[in-house]
Amino acid sequence: MLARLRQVWGTVRTTPADRQAEFRRWRKALRWTEIEAADLAHGRVVYMKTCGVCHMLHGEGGTIGPDLTGSNRSDLEYLLSNLLDPSGIVGRDYQTTIIVTDNGRWIAGIVKHETPTSVTLQTPTERVTVPLDDIDERVLSPQSLMPENQLAQLEPEAARDLVAYLRHPTQVRLPELREQRGFRGSEGGESSGGGATEGGRRPGLQPNPSKNGLF
Ligand code: HEC
């Protein structure tokens, strides 16, 4: 069974009905009209916190997952399918291997290097080399190393800003500290004049200082 799993290109799962509903909900929430109200600079901050540990974008970020710069990220459907169902399609290079060692330790990660005597796994937090002699069991997991439900764990406006930033073709400037509230970060275009832009934002889409900890 495992041998067969390894032969096929990655793992493709069928999408259950509740996931279809999730897709519909987010597709609606992230329509272009909403995206245009988005704060790209804030999106970059959300990206760095949420995705940057694992993914490179515009030359910034980690290398655990694929570099997203040249991906199909301008396509909302592409982003949604990866974000809502990370384990749906996992490329062979990024499949998760689970190793159980003789002394009962579990390590889940992507195989980065193998020698005749050891295997090196990249976990979400570290790179671990395990001697083959210490391995009790080794299985390929259909589960992606990428966490599920990341969008749902964000404040709605943070999710919107993140997706707008991901879809944006080029890097944007980080928010400036003096613009902590009410800024609209678009490539150095508008900047906030005191609290003036606050009123221009859509009601219900204000950054929430207490909850997402970004402000
Ligand atoms: C713990 C590490 C980790 C985090 C955090 C993470 N990802 Fe991933 N991501 C991965 C891995 C590993 C893959 C490759 C396996 C897969 O397709 O699931 C991946 C795949 C993807 C892909 C498909 C890329 C391709 O070329 O196939 C996209 C798009 C993506 N991630 C976006 C994101 C976004 C956006 C975030 C932040 C909300 C994020 N990821 C957070 C690890 C992570």
For residue range 92-144, list pLDDT tens digits in order: 999 999 999 999 999 999 999 999 999 999 999 999 999 999 999 999 998 99
Give the atom of ligand 1 at the shortest distance from the alpha carbon of 124.
Answer: 1
Same domain (yes/no): 81, 159: yes
Residues 184 and 129 in one domain: no
Q: Which atom of ligand 1 approaches the CA of 53 most closely?
A: 5
Q: Report if residue 55 sits inside a domain.
A: yes
177 secondary structure, DSSP code = G
Q: Is 203 a member of any domain?
A: no
Find the 10 Cα to ligand 1 centroid distance in Å.
15
Which regions of the chain does DSSP assign to beta strands (E)? 11-12, 56-57, 60-61, 89-90, 96-101, 106-114, 118-122, 127-131, 135-141
Which amino acid residue places its CA nearest to atom 5 of ligand 1? 51
**Does the structure show a pLDDT above 60 at 14?**
no
pLDDT tens-digit series, residues 161-186? 999 999 999 999 999 875 555 545 44
User: Is the same domain home to 13 and 66?
Assistant: yes
212 located within any domain: no
Number of domains making up the chain: 2
Judgement on whether residues 24 and 64 belong to the same structural domain of the protein: yes
Same domain, 103 and 37: no
Domain membership flag for residue 117 = yes
**Does one domain contain both 16 and 107?**
no
pTM exceeds 0.95: no
Nearest atom in ligand 1 to 71's CA: 26
Report yes or no on 133 lying in a domain. yes
Q: In this structure, are 96 and 81 located in the same domain? A: no
Let me know: does 180 contact 215? Beta carbons within 8 Å.
yes
Contact 142, 86 (CB under 8 A): no
User: What is the Cα gyration radius of the chain?
Assistant: 20
Nearest to 20 by CA among 75, 96, 105, 77: 77
Ligand 1 centroid from CA 200, angstroms: 34
* Structural domain ending residue among the three candidates 141, 159, 179: 141
One domain for residues 155 and 102: no
Q: Whose CA is nearest to atom 22 of ligand 1?
A: 82
**Residue 9 sits in the same domain as residue 108:** no
Banded model confidence at residue 7, pLDDT cuts 50, 70, 90:
very low
Same domain, yes or no: 82 and 21: yes
109 falls within a domain: yes
Quick: pLDDT tens for 27-86.
998 987 677 889 999 999 999 999 999 999 999 999 999 999 999 999 999 999 999 999
Give me the phi and psi of 109, to 5 degrees please: -170, 180
Q: Does 215 have pLDDT greater than 80?
A: no
* Residue labelled with tokens 């970059």: 44
Q: What is the pLDDT of residue 13?
A: 56
Provide the CA 126 distance to its chain's centre, in angstroms.
18
The verdict on 7 and 71 lying in the same domain is yes
Structural domain including 186 reads 2-88+148-194
Residue 19 placed within a domain: yes
Residue 105 sits in a domain whose CATH number is 2.30.30.100
Q: How confident is the model at residue 90 (pLDDT cuts 50, 70, 90)?
A: very high
Are 19 and 72 contained in the same domain?
Answer: yes
Residue with tokens 């009209």: 33
> What is the CB < 6 Å shell around ligand 1?
50-51, 53-55, 64-66, 68, 71, 79, 82-83, 86, 90-91, 94, 124, 144-147, 150, 166
Establish if 215 belongs to a structural domain.
Answer: no
